Structure 1
Amino acid sequence: MPLTPLDIHNKEFSRKIRGYDEDEVNEFLDQIIKDYEALIRENKELQAKLEAYEEKVNHFKTMEETLSKTIVVAQEAADEMKANAKKEAQLIIKEAEKNADRIINESLAKSRKIALDSEELKKQAMIYRTRFRSLLEAQLELLNQEDWNFEKMNLELEFPAKDEVKE
């Protein structure tokens, strides 16, 4: 157990015939007591500072751990957001591809229908043209016949009377 200033103060030495000067020893002991008290005070102050610094170091270590955890959580959140964005982008791309396929298929179907309609119209135009040509040829043939007359056609022509004609 270490000495205290009180132990030093209360220490008594045995006396001998040719011993040290008691006043000088007492003065020296008083000086030792003062210095020892100062050292003890300084030691306590240093210990208090050390505890304060250790407390600050622990506080900073806690902050460091918290920041590290926060960084890890932020990184994980960023990675998760990145993965979600990638998935969403893939879904958007798939949806766009489906829509593009649908639009292409619809366009192809419309194109086929228009082509079929166009072919049908061409056929109908050819049929109409052929029939019209046949009709015209039949009419020309009738006109070219020399024995053409109204009686064959059973047509009756009516002419207005003179008094009905207006001038």
Structure 2
Amino acid sequence: MLTPVDLQGRTFKSGMGYSKADVDSFFSTLTADYEALYRENMELKDKVGTLNEGINHYRSIEKSLQKALVLAEQTAEETISSAKTNATVIEQEAVLKAQSIVADAKIELDHIHAKTVEMLQQYERYRSQYRALAQAQVELLDSESFNIEVASLDAFSSLEQEAAQNSAAVHAKVQFQETEEKTAAVMSEPSDEDEDETLDDDIQINDLASLFADDHSDDAQED
């Protein structure tokens, strides 16, 4: 393909024929147009090359996307298949576990029922025992052992009076013994002079009289 430089360097032999001025003018116009066309053609080629590169790039991306899509489809199918398998296994395990729980609950219910029956029976036994014990206590209260008659009360009062008299007699006896001990103590005291013996004897007699008087007054107060 001719370039604008080739057209500009093209020369013709002079001689008779077309007008040289017309040919040069037309040739100049043709060169300018051809130069513009040539530049446009080169630009279009560059654009086409760029577009081809872009197309090739997008084609490679498309291939990658297709591969990824195929891989995703395979992965999705595998995931779905695995999920179905896992779901089946989980469902079977859940059924077995539910059956085990129901069986254990039934056993526990039977145990609770048996325990409840046993406790009710034990309650009835305790109730019967307490009823029998209460009846025995009522019968004991109604027996003659708990009947207190008036004669028994009178006898009890006479026993109390007799015990009081015995206590008073014992008290009087104790006071009499104390008086004798005091008298013996007074009589046993030594004297230094003979002339004081008569006076001491009088004092001892007076002391004895006062002691006996005190004893009789105490007995009277107790009676």
**TM-score normalized by structure 2?**
0.44
* Count of residues in correspondence between the two structures: 124
CA distance in 2, matches of 1:110, 1:5: 107
Shift in Å at residue 65 of structure 1? Answer: 2.2
Shift in Å at residue 68 of structure 1? Answer: 2.2
Counterpart position of 1:52: 50
TM alignment of 1:19-98, pairs within 5 A: 19-98=17-96
Shift in Å at residue 110 of structure 1? Answer: 7.2
Counterpart position of 2:6: 7
Gaps of 5+ in 2: 119-151, 157-223
TM alignment of 1:121-160, pairs within 5 A: none
Deviations 1:41-67 (A, max 9, x none): 010011111112212222222232222
- Quick check: 6-15 or 31-40, which moved more? 6-15
CA distance in 1, matches of 2:98, 2:4: 96
CA distance in 2, matches of 1:49, 1:57: 12
Shift in Å at residue 36 of structure 1? Answer: 1.2
Shift in Å at residue 101 of structure 1? Answer: 4.1
CA distance in 2, matches of 1:38, 1:10: 17
Q: Quick one: structure 1 residues 99 and 25, their matched pair in 2 at CA, closer, same or farther if it must change by over 3 Å?
A: same
Deviations 1:91-116 (A, max 9, x none): 112212322443455567778999xx
TM alignment of 1:104-115, pairs within 5 A: none
Gaps of 5+ in 1: 122-161
Please tell me whether Structure 1 or Structure 2 has the larger radius of gyration of its CA atoms: 2
When the two chains are superposed, the root-mean-square deviation of aligned CA atoms in Å is: 3.4
- Quick check: 29-38 or 62-71, which moved more? 62-71
Identity %: 34
Higher helix share: 2
Q: Quick one: structure 1 residues 106 and 23, their matched pair in 2 at CA, closer, same or farther if it must change by over 3 Å?
A: same
CA distance in 1, matches of 2:2, 2:50: 27
What amino acid sits opposite 1:51 in the alignment?
G
